[in-house]
Amino acid sequence: MKGFASDNYAGAHPEVLAAIADANDGHAAAYGADPWTARAEELLREHFGEQALSYLVFNGSAANVLSIRALCRPWESVICAAQSHINVDECGAPEWIAGTKLQAVPTLDAKLTPELVESQIARIGDEHAVQPRVVSISQSTELGTRYSPYEISALAHFAHERGLLLHVDGARLANAAAALDVPLRAITTDVGVDAVSFGGTKNGILLGEAVVFLQPEHAEGFRYLRKQTLQLASKGRFLAAQFIALLEGDLWRRNAAHANAMAARLGAALVGAPGITITQPVQANGVFAIVPRGVTEALQRDWPFYVWNEHTGEVRWLCAWDTTEDEIDAFAAAVKQACAVV
């Protein structure tokens, strides 16, 4: 069953389960007024800076949509890559729940640049048009690529000059930081990011994400928004304990770096192999490729993974914290063999 469908096909790291069991100790105040939540928030400040205000939620869709609700007024829009999760994988939640229009920009690698953002800024002050307010990028991206700190800094600088804010969908922020070998704040707080959806689920916990505001003023009233958006856990300690497990030591980095290494190993094994086109740089924990017709279905019988683009046939292979070198090697061999047969 183990395959390359998604990093959320993996289970939870044992240290996470242990943390949950530790937190299961008698009664605790509900709705986040417990010591575990306080500790998780403290750790998030350690990682994202003293000013960071963090709010735990259930999943990444919620972290993204709540970020939008917090940052945009009803007539304001979000500029994002056409391939971004908020644009194509939330079943319209940004529009329905936040009421927000997305201005989706076609890109080759799922990355925005100041020039691409610029192309979406128009009709400022014209009441017939939504007014751009947020630039939202994914780090690492939905195509397994990543932004350098410099690229994010340039986007933040440009955004702020134009009166916009910069949001990072960080469902895989840990993968990007690990790949760059920098602290989390080096690609967020320190380069001008305003708000982050910081992911846990895809990096070895059961479930849970954090909305992290790096400028406290954007968090005004957020407690109410979280509750109203159905994202306030009553037994908050069990979300918090998982983040403590991730962030108190280096589990977040160990898990992410391992997944990245496995993707790199897979990419290295396949690059240049006959019939295989690696379509994106392998910069995090995913490999994107186009393989000959027929190969995809044959491989999927033994190894779960997704076709990423129905129109081009591009496939996605994601590695997780628990992917092993043996699995990579076996899968790479299988891919090469299948392509060779065709």
Region 22-51 residues binding a second copy, contact defined as CB under 8 A: 23-31
Number of residues that bind a second copy (CB under 8 A): 82
Looking at the Cβ atoms of 72 and 180, the one nearer to a second copy is 72
Window 238-277: contact mask with a second copy (x via CB under 8 A): x---------------------------------------
Please say whether the beta carbons of 324 and 333 come within 8 A. no
CA 222 vs CA 127, 231, 321: distances in Å: 27, 11, 32
- Binds a second copy (CB under 8 A): choice among 224, 250, 324, 341: 224
- Binds a second copy (CB under 8 A): choice among 43, 97, 143, 278: 97
Residue with tokens 């829009």: 77
With contacts defined by CB under 8 A, name the span among 44-52, 128-136, 160-168, 262-270 that binds a second copy. Answer: 128-136
With contacts defined by CB under 8 A, name the span among 5-13, 135-143, 172-180, 265-273 that binds a second copy. Answer: 5-13
Looking at the Cβ atoms of 73 and 293, the one nearer to a second copy is 73
Alpha-carbon dihedral sign for residues 119, 120, 122, 128: positive
3-state secondary structure of 210: strand
3-state secondary structure of 273: coil
CA 147 vs CA 170, 262, 330: distances in Å: 12, 20, 31
CB of 9 to a second copy, least distance (A): 4
Looking at the Cβ atoms of 24 and 337, the one nearer to a second copy is 24
With contacts defined by CB under 8 A, name the span among 40-48, 94-102, 272-280, 286-294 that binds a second copy. Answer: 94-102
- Binds a second copy (CB under 8 A): choice among 115, 150, 161, 234: 234
Looking at the Cβ atoms of 189 and 323, the one nearer to a second copy is 323
Q: Is 75 an interacting residue with respect to a second copy (CB under 8 A)?
A: yes
CB of 89 to a second copy, least distance (A): 5
With contacts defined by CB under 8 A, name the span among 142-150, 173-181, 210-218, 223-231 that binds a second copy. Answer: 223-231
CB of 127 to a second copy, least distance (A): 4
Contacts 24+ apart (CB under 8 A), 338-341: 338/291, 338/295, 338/298, 338/299, 339/273, 339/274, 339/275, 339/276, 339/291, 339/292, 339/295, 340/274, 340/275
Residue 94, both tokens:
């940004």
Looking at the Cβ atoms of 167 and 226, the one nearer to a second copy is 226
- Binds a second copy (CB under 8 A): choice among 39, 46, 49, 88: 88
Residue with tokens 């505001």: 213
| Single-letter amino acid, residue 293 | R
With contacts defined by CB under 8 A, name the span among 62-70, 108-116, 263-271, 292-300 that binds a second copy. Answer: 62-70
Give 216's DSSP letter: G
Looking at the Cβ atoms of 95 and 248, the one nearer to a second copy is 95
d(CA 314, CA 328): 19
CB of 339 to a second copy, least distance (A): 24
First to last CA, the chain: 25
Instruction: Describe the strand order of the beta sheet including 306-307 as a list of residue ranges.
Output: 277-278, 286-290, 315-318, 306-307
- Binds a second copy (CB under 8 A): choice among 45, 58, 153, 313: 58
- Binds a second copy (CB under 8 A): choice among 80, 174, 210, 232: 232
* DSSP character string of 53-120: EEEEES-HHHHHHHHHHHH--TTEEEEEETT-HHHHSSTTHHHHTS-PPEEEE--SSS---HHHHHHT
